[in-house]
Amino acid sequence: MSQEKISQLKQKLSEIHDVNSATSLLIWDQEIFMPPKAAEGRGKQLSTLSTIAHQMFTDKEVGDILKSLQDQSGSLTADENKLVSETCHDYERAVKLPDAYVNEFALERSHAYNAWVEAKKHSNFKAFQPHLQKLTNLLHRRADYLGYEGASYNALLEDYERGMTVESLKPVFGRLAVEQSEIVKKVAHAPQPDFSWLAQEWDEDKQWDFTMRVVKDLGFDFESGRQDKSVHPFTTEFDLHDVRITTRIRKDDLFTGLMGSIHECGHGLYEQGFLPQDARTTLGKAVSLGIHESQSLMWENIIGGSLAFWKHYHADIQKLYGTQVKEVSAEQFYQAANRVQPSFIRVEADECTYNLHVVLRFEIELALFEGEIGVEDIPAIWNQKMKDYLGLDVTDDAHGCLQDVHWSQGYIGYFPTYALGNLYAAQMFERIQSDIPKLWDEIEAGNFSVLLKWLREHVHHVGRRMTALELIEHLTHSPLQPDAFLRYLKSKYGSLYKL
Amino acid sequence: MSQEKISQLKQKLSEIHDVNSATSLLIWDQEIFMPPKAAEGRGKQLSTLSTIAHQMFTDKEVGDILKSLQDQSGSLTADENKLVSETCHDYERAVKLPDAYVNEFALERSHAYNAWVEAKKHSNFKAFQPHLQKLTNLLHRRADYLGYEGASYNALLEDYERGMTVESLKPVFGRLAVEQSEIVKKVAHAPQPDFSWLAQEWDEDKQWDFTMRVVKDLGFDFESGRQDKSVHPFTTEFDLHDVRITTRIRKDDLFTGLMGSIHECGHGLYEQGFLPQDARTTLGKAVSLGIHESQSLMWENIIGGSLAFWKHYHADIQKLYGTQVKEVSAEQFYQAANRVQPSFIRVEADECTYNLHVVLRFEIELALFEGEIGVEDIPAIWNQKMKDYLGLDVTDDAHGCLQDVHWSQGYIGYFPTYALGNLYAAQMFERIQSDIPKLWDEIEAGNFSVLLKWLREHVHHVGRRMTALELIEHLTHSPLQPDAFLRYLKSKYGSLYKL
């Protein structure tokens, strides 16, 4: 009886997963291949499919199956009980959102996205403003539907980083703002390495081939995924065996494409690493966006930004670019990959300044959502904060508050997970180094699989069996804290810039 | 009241269209980008979405709306009544198919497709045989659900070419088999032009660029569509403004890519040509597969295979390939584009032999479906018929009965529409030539828009306001007949090969 119900539940989840996969493919295609005039139709397709998936999941039958399984918890395995409780968690949130709301939200996201694309093109925040206002209103309704304790922004955070609150984030982000700003200032006053060799043209095909090779070396399975080019790199999955990453190659920059590929590969390895028996169910999913980001950032910054990594690839990259890099040592590649340079654009920011971009967005979102500022105030506040945190004068909104796609997608409360990714990664990595004492030797020898194996076992295979905060506590015997990350930054950049 | 119901109907159709668009994108991606291990998951996604679309369309609410609109036909416009009657036609067929059957069929199609890919790779019909048997059984059930008069195969024909029957096809195909075979024999015995210049390597990028240019010249809107490469060229659409065509470039063949592009462009122009007010409804769809094929074949063979076409592009193609074609005249390109050469593969067949490939498949399908032969008999019968019709000894099943994807998709009754496309195109084209007396001058000057304008007005904008047989009768004041096509063949090849 309970086994029959478990099968029924898995069947339902599997069908919902299929619809969500189709939605993800529609988005993937929209970012990479869709012709321009198709935007309106695509918006309708996305809103229809979102509504269908929501209707399927909130169907009374799903509720009945879950209820019946909760009543029989004694006859279920631990995994089955976890599947039931996690699905109940999602179900209880989902049923609070009316179908009409889900449809309206999806449709407005699509309008706002198209408006944002145009507004960014012309660096005209005013053209995007009414859409951001509408989305903000819709998100307030969402928060009211879902309920929250403390700040209303907590209801949004809960979607991306369950259990995270404004109250717990504020002190953490406060320390990051102060201590990272200090490091950035020290670096700015330190003697700079010679980066002049970077100012060359780098063949795009060679760059592409090298990203493909590195991604493969790191363990990404190209039989179960692929890499393409897109304006904004991203990762998506349609199935455990269909994980798609993208990258962006720039002729004038040797690192954007490679580091972007490694970053998305980190996400992709996580998506390819769920247990096959969890596939198409609630357990075979990322525990949180912050943990997802810890995977991409660990591979990109801690590994891709390590001296061992560059020592490993030094001979190959010298062969690839020939005379262009003949005089450039492995140490110089390492320095260049970790160059600190305050800049306008978050996705191009280095590791030292990155969290400051996040803190800025968090503060603006929070003020907006709690009603302390209006949508129209954003450009001025953005520009002031960029001056305060990074010492930069923003030239126009395209390089300022219009740069990110997130708000046009209604993703408010999402940015904090990027900084959390850095913190989780650093905290986890201290444990990894103690578990694998010879890790850097392995990396220098190109044996990335030792790290992947650890992550598979301790993070990927877990799926949603723990929450992010439980996982980090379980792995590091400590709650989330910024110390490991700040230790890592101070040590790495202290040595790089001889601070 | 009736307007409210019309809006409700359009809303329902629009949402079903969205789900079908997502399905089409899943298939498009499967053919072009999907990584190999994703096949199983993709099959599940496709069957889930097919089932959802079927459930949405056969929902009692749709039936109630249609019934209520039928009762109010007096207060509807002619277009609205047509929308209602065409949707009723589809609805009445759809409700005859149980959800479970639709799901089972979609799932088996996906298994059969994967088995066919493998079977073809190893030229092993036996590995595909059980799947074809299963699909044949499923199609028999389909015919029983749907009902039919005369041959049970008529139930399948009805899906692709409404109103077409075995009884009306047999005499037409009989004449084609006899008279086309005669032409092919005569050509084989005629003195052959010098085709030796064709045996060169043709740069793939140049070929690709040329197909892009020609497709654009013919009128394909790249703001509302795109072209990609795939192993088997095809056309699909997700929206009036998102029509996708594909082509296949071969280094050893100058014409495969180009003619394939023009063929798919013909399909694409049809899909881009429905009236905007019909979009996302039953009326904004192809009237039949035969009419769809008339569009691709007219552009490919009648236009792309005309002397005027090659005179127009002669200077450009000489510039493109330089010394490779320095001595080749427009007439020689024209001859080469229309080279008659019996071959194993239908999709590579020339216009003279093409219908013979179709007649062969029709005869086998019919015999199989009516129980005169078993699935296991197919390879031997196939090979015998290839010998009889084209004088060829089939070397292996990969080049014989395993060559086409159709059967693995459960598409039995589909092949006849290809030959019907040739007949419709020729019959229509006689009318076009009388309406546009200077057509060939226009083509030679590169003014393809005069033809496109005619097709838009007389075929594309019609959508499903007429059936194929009504449309051809309306346009040519004659029922479907093979005479126009045979006249066209005899005149064109009589002159090309001086018969």
pLDDT tens track for A357-386: 999 999 999 999 999 999 999 999 999 999
Which candidate in B14, B57, B242, B244 is best for mutational testing of the A interface (most A CBs within 10 A)?
B242
* Residue A388 CB partners (closer than 8 Å, separation 6+): none
List residues in chain A touching B: CB distance below 8 A: 14-15, 18-19, 21-23, 25-26, 29, 33-38, 40-42, 44-45, 48-49, 52, 221-226, 228, 238-242, 280
pLDDT over threshold 80, residue B496: yes
* Mean pLDDT, range B92-112, rounded to an integer: 93
pLDDT tens track for B12-50: 999 999 999 999 999 999 999 999 999 999 999 999 999
pLDDT of residue A294: 98
User: What is the C-alpha separation between A7 and B44, in angstroms, rounded?
Assistant: 16
User: Which residues from chain B sit within 8 angstroms of residue A224, using beta carbons?
Assistant: 35, 37-38
CB contact under 8 A, A241 and B37: yes
pLDDT of residue B477: 97
Number of helices (H) and strands (E), helices first, in chain A?
20, 3
pLDDT over threshold 80, residue B150: yes
pLDDT over threshold 90, residue A162: yes
pLDDT over threshold 90, residue B97: yes
pLDDT of residue A86: 97
pLDDT tens track for B52-72: 999 999 999 999 999 999 999
CB contact under 8 A, A35 and B222: yes
Q: What percent of chain B has a predicted confidence (pLDDT) above 90?
A: 97
pLDDT of residue B159: 94
pLDDT of residue A231: 87
pLDDT of residue A33: 96
pLDDT over threshold 90, residue B110: no
pLDDT over threshold 80, residue B1: no
pLDDT of residue B431: 98
Q: What percent of chain B has a predicted confidence (pLDDT) above 70?
A: 100
pLDDT tens track for A473-494: 999 999 999 999 999 999 999 9
- Judge whether A473 counts as a catalytic residue: no
A355, with CB counted inside 10 A (0-12, 13-18, 19+), is buried
Which residue in chain B is spatially nearest to A26 when comparing CA positions? B22
Torsion of CA B163, B165, B167, B172, to 10 degrees: 90
Å between B83 CA and nearest CA of chain A: 21
CB B33 within 8 A of CB B244: no
pLDDT tens track for A404-413: 999 999 999 9
CA-closest candidate to residue B245, choices B213, B267, B223: B267
Q: What is the CA radius of gyration of chain A?
A: 23
ipTM: 0.92
* pLDDT confidence bin for B280, thresholds 50/70/90: very high
* pLDDT confidence bin for B337, thresholds 50/70/90: very high
* Mean pLDDT, range A44-53, rounded to an integer: 95
pLDDT of residue B227: 98
* Residue B409 CB partners (closer than 8 Å, separation 6+): B109, B112, B113
pLDDT over threshold 90, residue A310: yes
pLDDT tens track for B73-90: 999 999 999 999 999 999
* Mean pLDDT, range B296-300, rounded to an integer: 98
pLDDT over threshold 90, residue A110: no
* Mean pLDDT, range A48-76, rounded to an integer: 97
Ramachandran region, residue A350 (left: φ > 0; alpha: ψ -120 to 50; beta: rest): beta
CB B164 within 8 A of CB B383: no
pLDDT of residue A98: 95
Which residue in chain B is spatially nearest to A51 when comparing CA positions? B15
Å between A36 CA and nearest CA of chain B: 6
Beta bridge partners of B247: B229
pLDDT over threshold 90, residue A394: yes
pLDDT over threshold 90, residue B231: no
Structure-token pair, residue B12: 């329902």
* pLDDT confidence bin for B398, thresholds 50/70/90: very high
pLDDT of residue A194: 94
* pLDDT confidence bin for B2, thresholds 50/70/90: confident
pLDDT of residue A2: 87
pLDDT over threshold 90, residue A1: no
Q: At what angle do helices A378-390 and A351-369 cross, to 10 degrees?
A: 150
* Mean pLDDT, range A423-445, rounded to an integer: 98
* Mean pLDDT, range B386-394, rounded to an integer: 93
pLDDT over threshold 80, residue A106: yes
Q: Is the pTM of this model over 0.90?
A: yes
